[in-house]
Structure 1
Amino acid sequence: MFTPWAAKTTAEAAVDNLPAVTAIAAGDRTGAVDFLKGAYRRYTQTRASIGSEAHDMFERMIRGEYVNPRRITDQMQPYYDHFSEFLDTVQPELIRAEDVAWSDTYEYAGSFDALLRIKDEDGTYTTVIADWKTSKSTYPEVALQMAAYGFADRLIDPEGNSEPMPPIDAAAVLHITEDQWAFKPVRFDTEVFKYFVHLRSVFDWDREVSKTVLGKPFAKGGRKSIVTGTQRRA
């Protein structure tokens, strides 16, 4: 998936910056190539920067901290507006924010964005573990992420205090872009969590166990290898 995405990002950079690329190429072909080669990295760095700044702002807002609109940058303004509209529309009650979900059973940990209490149409309350996303789209893997948080054994706050994970009814992702926002339900059940646990085992295999399975040869020998035609042509 990465290769087509990187190719598309490079092509978009070429089309969007055609006059500049043409001008650079006229005097420095290598420079123009390097500019386009770095398009996907620049995009990734920009999105990461936007995501970090937006998450910091969202945390302040969900905690009820006053954020001066006059100090919001033009880049952050749409995210501020959309998150403000989300708060007004959904009116979530904050339970926890940016705490660590810790699993003693499966040995993993991660910081989640928020644990919310949301009033349903019938007047009942639902405890929802939520995640903020500022990417172009939301992806199925977010369900694995939310299951990992919600099925962890305990919470750890910034001061190091630990307590059992409270009962969680549902999961949701708040997807915010420059143009719109949507608060989407995310499947949250034991089946999804089982897939996460399986992938957690695969991670252990790749990072640790796979490095232990091949030992030194009992014996070895042979003659100096020949250079094949394929190697010569390369």
Structure 2
Amino acid sequence: MVSRYVGPIRRVNRGRGHSYVDANGAKVPGVTTLLGDGVPKPALMDWGPRVTAEYAVDHWDELGKLTPSARLEKLKKARYADRDAAANKGTRVHTLAEQLVAGKTVAVPDDLAGHVESYVAFLDQWDPQPLLVEFVVMSHRHGYAGTGDLAAYFDPQLLLDCGLAGDDPALQALLQGLADNGELALVILDVKTSRSGIFGETALQLAGYRFADVYVDEDGAEQPMPEFHLALALHIRADGYDLFPMTAGRDQHRELLYVREVGQFVTDHSRSYVGPPLSSPAHTKPRRLEVATDDRAKEGQPA
């Protein structure tokens, strides 16, 4: 397998953001970046105006004391403050979840108490046995990296009893076979804390992680990616949680690669497909357009 990147891949954290680089410092695209560039988000078209309007109503008196230019700047930045606050909360919940699943004791801030209680309830009720937590993955074959939230073993009988297989006979047979043999189901799981919940693109995200070539171990070395039986998405809220089965197979991985191509068109190629305007032919002279009117029009009557 030929790769344009040199392992091991590592994650570089910068404030609230992060990126991935190879051993030579070359930047590696991340799965969430591929999705952000290539998947339309119609909900964001409503979200921006809504958040701005809510900010204006909540800060009406304060805004009224500002100059028009300062007022405009405040309103421009309102949606980003809301976005950053949500992202910061999500990062903090993920950090605490990583410690909790490892069995560590954590100090819980008051504003995250509900989310932590929900995550503890998930751990108590499903008892996942962690294999990998917050782990970097790399697809040398397709040239992308990412960070998985959790790879863990689940009781297949518990999954069956709670209706995970649904009407899928193949998945039912797989889980029943594992249960009959006393084996556990290896699951790749993504944790979401957003108010909006789980979207279909999470399936593409999980497929990208699931079918990566390697993961990076605690020593920074690349190891072969384990084979997962299925994928789940966990939506953590202050008032509880929901666990969703996700269709994240080879078809969804192929769709992720299609999304990458669309994103590359949007970010890299689209402008280059339009050439510069042509010069006008030198041998022609511009003509002056004259509007012909009849006598009635000149006299102010309809033509």
TM-score (norm 1): 0.82
Larger CA Rg, structure 1 vs 2: 2
Contact 1:24 1:32 in 2 (8 A): no
> Hey, what does 1:24 align to over in structure 2?
62
| 2:247 is equivalent to residue 187 of structure 1 | yes
Q: CA deviation at 1:35?
A: 3.7
Q: Which structure 2 segments of 5+ residues have no match?
A: 1-41, 158-175, 287-303
Residues 1:128 and 1:24: Cα distance change in structure 2 (over 3 Å): same
Q: CA deviation at 1:162?
A: 1.5
Residues 1:211 and 1:163: Cα distance change in structure 2 (over 3 Å): farther
1:132 pairs, out of 191, 209, 219, with 191
Residues 1:165 and 1:214: Cα distance change in structure 2 (over 3 Å): same
| 2:211 is equivalent to residue 175 of structure 1 | no
Residues 1:35 and 1:179: Cα distance change in structure 2 (over 3 Å): farther
> Hey, what does 2:219 align to over in structure 1?
159
Contact 2:56 2:63 in 1 (8 A): no
Residues 1:153 and 1:180: Cα distance change in structure 2 (over 3 Å): same
Listed one character per residue, the Cα deviations across residues 157-193 of structure 1 (whole Å, up to 9, x for unaligned) are 2422122111111111110112221111111211111
- 2:72, 2:263 → 1: CA distance? 36
Q: Tell me which moved more, 58-67 or 115-124.
A: 115-124
- 1:57, 1:222 → 2: CA distance? 68
Indicate the RMSD between aligned Cα atoms, in angstroms: 2.5
Matched AA of 2:251: E
> Hey, what does 2:167 align to over in structure 1?
none
TM-score (norm 2): 0.64
Matched AA of 2:132: R
> Hey, what does 1:47 align to over in structure 2?
86
SS in 2 for 1:112: strand
Q: CA deviation at 1:214?
A: 6.7
Listed one character per residue, the Cα deviations across residues 81-117 of structure 1 (whole Å, up to 9, x for unaligned) are 1111110000000011111111111011111111010
| Percent of residue pairs bearing the same amino acid type | 27
Listed one character per residue, the Cα deviations across residues 106-151 of structure 1 (whole Å, up to 9, x for unaligned) are 0111111110100022645211101111101211110110000001
Listed one character per residue, the Cα deviations across residues 202-231 of structure 1 (whole Å, up to 9, x for unaligned) are 3344455557667789x85668xx9xxxxx
| 2:53 is equivalent to residue 11 of structure 1 | yes
